[in-house]
Amino acid sequence: MYSITGTSLIGLTKGTDGLWLEVTAPTSGMTLDTTASTYAAGCRIFNTADGIAFYNAGTVAAPVWESGILSKTISLTAAQLISFYTTSIEVIPAVAGKAIIMDSMEFDLTGTSTQFTGGGVVNLQYASTANGAGTTLHADIAASVVTGATARVITVRIPKDLSAIATASITGIGVFIGCKTGVFATGTGTAQVRVKYHLV
Q: What span, in angstroms and rounded, lies between the C-alpha atoms of 111 and 190?
A: 7
pLDDT digits (tens, 9 = 90+) for 131-147: 999 999 999 999 999 99
- Domain ranges in the chain are 2-67, 70-199
The mean per-residue pLDDT over the stretch 4-29 comes to 83
Q: What span, in angstroms and rounded, lies between the C-alpha atoms of 62 and 110?
A: 48
Flag whether pLDDT at 187 surpasses 90: yes
pLDDT digits (tens, 9 = 90+) for 82-120: 999 999 999 999 887 889 999 999 999 999 999 999 999
Hey, what CATH class is 70-199 in? mainly beta
The model's pTM: 0.77
Rounded to 5 degrees, φ, ψ at 31 are: -85, 130
Question: How many CB atoms are closer than 10 A to CB 114?
Answer: 12
